[in-house]
A and B are shown apart, each in its own frame.
Chain A
Amino acid sequence: MRMMKNITLVFFLSGLLSACVSNNQQVTTAPEADVLPNVQDRVVVNGEVLPLPEDRSIATYTLPDERPVSSVVKNLTRRAQDQTREGNYDGAANSLERALRIEPRNPMLWNRLADVRYLQKAWRKSIQLAAKSNTLAANNKSLRRENWYLMSNAYKALGDIESEQKYREKLKQQVLPPL
């Protein structure tokens, strides 16, 4: 519970502060529009010129919390929580996998699954799942911190000091950026 509060606080503050941070390292959403008119890049099919698909190759990811979390996923997550509390880890994993079939790109679900594996002491599995959560976590710094925290502990349990240190460093660095 306390951890949840802290995380929410960190997230809230970082959300405020992110507004202050200058954005020169961020990726752009749309391609810049200053290409010359006679550009040769086009697709010709059956003699017809088709416009190129919108080059949204590296799109910024909307914050996961902005997307509505469906009630189904919420309930399955709650069910997984109950199952975890009862010690039914396989059941919890099953519920989370079911939720993942509905929302495969939800980083929170991957993080929860990593938690379950962690509780089962399946260190390697939990590390991989946390890593997967991070690839989807975009700007959700608090979730990424959670994942790094879990990964560093799991590495410690595996005896991989080097990796443990690597993730502890990441945690230290990611403290609130200067205004």
Chain B
Amino acid sequence: MSKKTKKKASSKKVSKKKTSKRSSQKKPATLFSRFRASAGWRLTKYVLLRLCIVLFVVLLGFTAYLDITIRKQFEGKRWALPAHVYTRPMELYVGQVLDRTVVEAELSELGYIERENVDRVGRYRFAENELTIFQREFRFWDELRAQQLTRIRLSGDQIVSITSSIDGTEPFDNDIIRLEPRLFGSVSPLSHEDRSLLKLEDVPQVLIDGLIANEDRAYYSHFGVNPLGIARAMIRNIQAGRLVQGGSTLTQQLVKNYYLTSRQTLERKLIEMMMSVLLEVHYSKDEILQAYFNEVYLSQAGNRAIHGFALASQYFYGRPLKELDIDQLAMLIAINNGPSAFNPTRNSKRALTRRDLVLQVMLTEGVIDQSQYDIAINEGLKLSTTAERAAPLSYPAFMGFVRKNLQNDYQQDDLHSEGLQIYTTLNPRIQQNLEAAVQSEINAIEVRKRLPIDSLQVAAVVIRTDNGEVAAMVGDRKPSFSGYNRAIKARRPVGSLLKPFVYLTALESPEKYSLATLVDDIEIIVSQKGSPDWRPKNYDNREHGKTMLIDALAHSLNLSAVQVGMELGVPKVSDTIRRVGYSDEINEYPSVLLGAVPMTVMDVGQLYLTLATGGFKTPIKGIRSVLSNDNEPLARYPLDIDQVVEPEFNALITYALQEVVRRGTARSISNGFRYDYGFAGKTGTTNDYRDSWFAGFSGNYLTVVWVGRDDNQPIGLTGASGAAKVWSQIMQGIPQQRLELGFHEDILTKKIYYSQDLQLQDCSLSRQMPILLASIPLENVPCAERIQYDDSQDDELRHFEPTVDDGQTEPDAIEKPKKKKSFWKRLFG
């Protein structure tokens, strides 16, 4: 900073000398002394001195300002650590049936490499009866797991023993081990930057030495700027006639990185230099180097800027920096030299050439020896598949869900800057399967039904029924799109999906209703104040007369649902829906009975989850726990259940939902499965075939699917022909467990007799049905009055699912959008 003042001082000296020389030659003493004595000179001196002081002060101030700025940048108010988000850890335990493909997919996604020799961290081998993994160290939310060599012995498909050994010591028995969860996202600030904190001791020495050798050989000896280096570079540039070498030190590069623009004006360059010197004054060489490794911009992945070598290592190679080979480290140095010019995913040839140059320098400077060089120089790119796809596996729909959950508990600022570690419930194997199933099935449906390509949209969620954890989610038919997240944002009317809750309300009065109770599937006119009368219809415009409750639900008859619902009262039914887990407002109109409540797939999932757990409302969750950047547990999301439906009633309604799949509107889904898992589910179709819904569960997973159009135009699909097909495809890829209704001492399996039809009232048919003790007296209905449900008119392809219709339009013609009817009018018909 004193350069300028020095300059001024020296020039002044020069000028002084000149004047004295001149005056000594011409008129010696007189003029000079006269000038010196004159007021003009005194004034000039006065002004010049003041000017100098002012300039000095200004410079000092400016320097102080730069000092504060650079320290602020360095110390990290701006260098914020985004929150890091992890998948669930895969657990392997004794007695488990191991699916080799699934485990290998997980290991490979985690960056483990299959090698004959498992002698380094990050390697595994799958032999005939043994799986050996050299596991990385990992901080789980409840423990720090040391690096360990784990051997998993198999007998056929089953794991029979697991032993681990740390640091080559005596192996110990481990009945359950966890693969580490994968970091799949970060909640980053608006600038979309991402970092992963790296300590200098975690950086491989080869990389440090290689970087210094290639970029700034005199790093440890200069004071922030290297004037010799600048001079050398200038000479080389002049010789070559263009810019071939930069004279920037690593410190200067670090400073440059703190500015988003890379305008290299002289002014900027000078400021950079000053800041670099200041930085070196305050911080040690190691601290600056550490910041460098964490800070430098290395690549762009979509809308994420990748800063720092740790993240670049993950991005390009899918592995931590410590595990990279020499040629890969050299490649990172090459990328650092020119992130766009030498990006291996875009210019592989140029990148390789540059890498080889880096290796050469490393050899000449003694960073690596000849043998290492020979191996490295012959290696190819070896990029990870993530990099090859140039899009990190990010699961935007699930991330949106996680972000939403976090916003309830954490400030936006904390999420962006505190380096929180978030352990989620996402299962990447199920997610992968879900994405594939959705994409293939939506395309297939469009082709099969001759719908315009790319017209359909979809939302789906897969939830574990034992604890409400979200295993997978998609919010768009292209799952990697991070646009509108339909899974949590698209609220659409649910149609018949609310009927089970109408009948559940009924069943909760067992002295009046049982599954075998005959309900009236006959016309009903609902008068409402201030609105025209509502005349709901069945899909086939028929009345089915006296129908058993279970059949009315299984075949999704509208009239009986409205009949029963109106008898119970809409407020009572709405209360059931709220009790079972709907937390938003319900406009208690009769149309609620036929699903005029807009919901997302998550909302529907919450309702059906209560049924799937045996009547226990279980909050759906995406996060298991949160740790601070210092590994302090901040929050746990424990299992929290609330019994809202008596187990007996729950068992009855679940049995009825199984009937939907056995004999009812969803019977086509059983085709895709080899075994009978006892699936329970419900189809849903809304007016004019605008929305296609299916919600169904087994003993361990609940999946909800919605298919429709964003512009809300009719799609001509029922719940069965649209969403259920997608559902079936999804569930086929997930290991299912049979749905068990459990034991209830008050439920009997009763034989109900009924007749074939009205003419032949011979009570020749019978079926088993669960009936509550309290309902036994109800079933003394002459079997002659019970008629078998006539499904001969069911059209599997189209009319599997009834809709609300005013009877004026042909059931199998898609209503052309005339003018937009109001929401309520549409449901009223």
Q: Which residues from A are CB-within-8-Å of B745?
A: 25
Q: How far is the CB of B613 from chain A (nearest CB, A)?
A: 8
In the complex, what residues of A have CB within 8 A of residue B740's CB? 59, 61, 105
Find out whether the CB atom of A113 lies under 8 angstroms from the CB atom of B175: no
Interface check A150, CB cutoff 8 A: no
**Residues A72 and B94 in contact in the complex (CB < 8 Å), given A59-B740, A93-B638:** yes
The yes or no answer to B431 lying at the interface (CB within 8 A) is no
Q: Which residues of B contact A94 (CB under 8 A)?
A: 142, 636, 638
Report A-chain residues with C-beta under 8 Å of the C-beta of B766.
34-35
Q: Are B95 and A71 in contact (CB under 8 A)?
A: yes
Is the CB–CB distance between A27 and B767 below 8 Å? no
Given contact pairs A35-B766, A75-B176, A128-B643, A58 touches B747 in the complex (Cβ within 8 A): yes
Query: In whole angstroms, how far apart are the Cα atoms of A157 and B95 in the complex?
Result: 41
Taking CB atoms and an 8 Å cut-off, the chain A residues in 41-57 that contact chain B are 41, 43, 45, 52-57
B257 within 8 A of A: no
Question: How many residues of A are counted as interface, with CB atoms below 8 angstroms from the partner's CB atoms?
Answer: 50
User: What residues of A have a CB within 8 angstroms of the CB of B678 in the complex?
Assistant: 53, 56-57
Q: B residues within 8 A CB of A101?
A: 91, 466-467
Q: Are B742 and A71 in contact (CB under 8 A)?
A: no
CB contacts (< 8 Å) of B743 on chain A: these are: 27, 58, 60-61, 138-139
Chain B residues near A70 (CB, 8 Å)? 93-95
Contact B676 A132, beta carbon cutoff 8 Å: no
Bound Cα distance from A70 to B420, whole angstroms = 35
Cβ of B811 under 8 Å from chain A: no
Is B706 on the interface with A (CB-CB < 8 A)?
A: no
Is A146 engaged at the interface, CB distance under 8 Å to the other chain?
no
Min CB distance B625 to A, Å, is 9
Counting CB contacts under 8 A, is A102 at the interface?
A: yes
The minimal Cβ–Cβ distance linking B389 to chain A, given in whole angstroms, is: 31
- Contact of A23 with B by CB under 8 A: no
- Choose, from B42-50, B215-223, B267-275, B660-668, the stretch at the interface: B660-668
Residues of B616-631 at the interface with A, using a CB-CB cut-off of 8 Å, are 616
Q: Is the CB of B670 within 8 A of A102?
A: no
Tell me which of A36, A60, A71 contacts B175 (CB under 8 A): A71
A27-B749, A113-B639, A135-B614 known; A57 and B658 CB under 8 Å? yes
Q: Mark B590-620, 1 if CB is under 8 A from A, else 0.
A: 0000000000000000000000011110000
Assess whether A136 is interfacial by the CB under 8 Å rule.
yes
For A61, give its contact among B640, B658, B742 (CB under 8 Å).
B742
Q: Mark B737-771, 1 if CB is under 8 A from A, else 0.
A: 00011111101110100001000000011111010
Q: Is the CB of A57 within 8 A of B655?
A: yes
Min distance, Cβ A67 to any Cβ of chain B, angstroms: 12
* B792-825 contact mask (Cβ, 8 Å, vs A): 1 or 0: 0000000000000000000000000000000000
Determine if A72 and B768 form an interchain contact, defined as CB atoms under 8 angstroms apart.
Answer: no
Contact B788 A40 (CB under 8 A): yes
A129 interface residue (CB < 8 Å to B): yes
Interface status of B453 (Cβ within 8 A of chain A)? no
Q: Could you tell me the distance between the alpha carbons of A101 and B89 in the complex, rounded to whole angstroms?
A: 12
Known: A39-B765, A45-B671, A104-B700. A91 touches B142 (CB 8 A): yes
CA–CA, A101 to B743, complex, Å? 22
Check A90–B636 contact: CB distance below 8 A: yes
B741 touches A57 (CB 8 A): yes
Evaluate contact between B93 and A27: CB separation under 8 angstroms: no
A58 near B749 with CB under 8 A, answer yes
Q: Among B91, B643, B751, which residue has its beta carbon within 8 angstroms of that of A132?
A: B643
Task: Return chain A residues, CB-CB under 8 Å to B613.
Answer: 132
Across-interface contacts of B676 in A (CB, < 8 A): 53-54
Docked-complex contact A104 and B741, CB < 8 angstroms:
no
**B189 in the interface, Cβ–Cβ < 8 Å?**
no
B734 to chain A: which residues have CB within 8 Å? none
Contact of B770 with A58 in the complex, beta carbons under 8 Å: yes
- In the complex, the chain B residue whose C-beta lies closest to that of A134 is B647
With known contacts A43-B663, A45-B671, A125-B640, A72–B467 Cβ distance under 8 A: no
CA distance in complex: A32, B751 (Å): 9
- B466/A100 in contact, CB under 8 A: yes
When the two chains form their complex, are residues A57 and B749 in contact, meaning their CB atoms are under 8 A apart?
Answer: yes
Known interface pairs A100-B466, A135-B647; A53-B662 also in contact (CB < 8 Å) = yes
Chain B residues positioned under 8 Å from A61 (CB to CB): 740, 742-743
- Assess whether A6 is interfacial by the CB under 8 Å rule: no
Contacts of A27 in B (CB 8 A): 743, 747-749
For B670, list chain A residues within 8 Å (CB). Answer: 43, 53
A39 to nearest B CB, angstroms? 6
Within 8 A of A (CB), among B47-96: 91, 93-95
Interface of chain A residues 6 through 54 with chain B (CB within 8 A): 25, 27-28, 31-32, 34-36, 39-41, 43, 45, 52-54
| Residues of B close to A108: CB separation below 8 A | none
Check if B641 is an interface residue, CB within 8 A of chain A: yes
C-beta contact mask, A95-135 vs B, less than 8 Å → 1, else 0? 00110111011000000010000000000010011011011
B287 CB–A CB distance under 8 Å: no
CB-CB under 8 A from A100, the residues of chain B are: 466-467, 639
CB-CB under 8 A for A129 and B765, given A28-B749, A139-B743: no
Q: Are A138 and B742 in contact (CB under 8 A)?
A: yes
Measured in the bound complex, the distance between the Cα atoms of B651 and A138 in whole Å is 14
CA distance A101 to B748 in the complex (A): 31
Q: Is the CB of A72 within 8 A of B175?
A: yes
Taking CB atoms and an 8 Å cut-off, the chain B residues in 653-699 that contact chain A are 655, 658, 662-663, 667-668, 670-671, 676, 678, 699
Whether A104 lies near B749 (C-beta < 8 A) is no
- B119: Cβ under 8 A from any A Cβ: no
Nearest Cβ in chain B — how far from A107, in angstroms? 10
Chain B residues contacting A131 (CB-CB under 8 Å) are: 616, 643
Say whether A43 contacts B614, CB under 8 Å: no
B642 close to chain A: CB less than 8 A: yes
| A177 CB, min distance to chain B CBs, angstroms | 13
Q: In the complex, what's the smallest C-beta–C-beta distance from A7 to chain B, in angstroms?
A: 20
A76 adjacent to chain B (CB < 8 Å): yes
**Given A36-B764, A53-B662, A132-B643, A97 contacting B616 (CB threshold 8 A):** no
Chain B residues with CB below 8 A from A90, complex form: 636, 638
Residues in chain B near residue A138, CB distance under 8 A: 742-743
Residues of chain B within 8 A (CB-CB) of A75 are: 175-176
> CA of A25 to CA of B175 in the docked complex: distance in angstroms?
42
With a CB–CB cut-off of 8 A, which chain B residues contact A39?
A: 765
A94–B637 CA distance with the chains assembled, in angstroms: 10
Chain A contacts with B in 122-179, Cβ cutoff 8 A: 125, 128-129, 131-132, 134-136, 138-139
Q: A35-B766, A135-B742 are in contact. Are A41 and B663 (CB under 8 A)?
A: yes
Contact, CB under 8 Å: B765 / A40: yes
- Please report the C-alpha to C-alpha distance between residue A1 and residue B663 in the assembled complex, in whole angstroms: 52
Counting chain B CB atoms within 10 Å of each CB, the highest count among A72, A98, A104 belongs to A72
Specify the chain B residue showing the minimal Cβ separation from A36.
B764
On whether the beta carbons of B176 and A132 are closer than 8 Å, the reply is no
Q: Which residue of A lies closest to B625 (CB)?
A: A94
Beta-carbon contact of A72 and B742 below 8 Å: no
B749 contacts which chain A residues (CB < 8 A)? 27-28, 31, 57-58
Residues of B within 8 A of A55 (CB): 768
Judging by beta carbons under 8 Å apart, are B765 and A132 in contact? Answer: no
* Chain A: minimal CB distance from B644 (Å): 10
Known: A71-B175, A104-B466. 14 other contacts (CB 8 A): A27-B748, A35-B766, A53-B662, A56-B678, A58-B743, A61-B740, A75-B176, A91-B142, A93-B638, A94-B142, A101-B466, A105-B466, A113-B639, A128-B643
Could you show 15 A-B contacts with beta carbons less than 8 Å apart?
Answer: A25-B745, A27-B743, A27-B747, A31-B768, A40-B765, A43-B670, A53-B676, A58-B655, A58-B744, A75-B176, A93-B638, A94-B142, A132-B613, A132-B643, A135-B614
Where the two chains meet, the residues of A that have a C-beta atom closer than 8 Å to any C-beta of B are 25, 27-28, 31-32, 34-36, 39-41, 43, 45, 52-61, 70-72, 75-76, 90-91, 93-94, 97-98, 100-102, 104-105, 113, 125, 128-129, 131-132, 134-136, 138-139
Which 4 pairs from chain A and chain B are nearest by CB? A104-B466, A53-B676, A138-B743, A72-B93
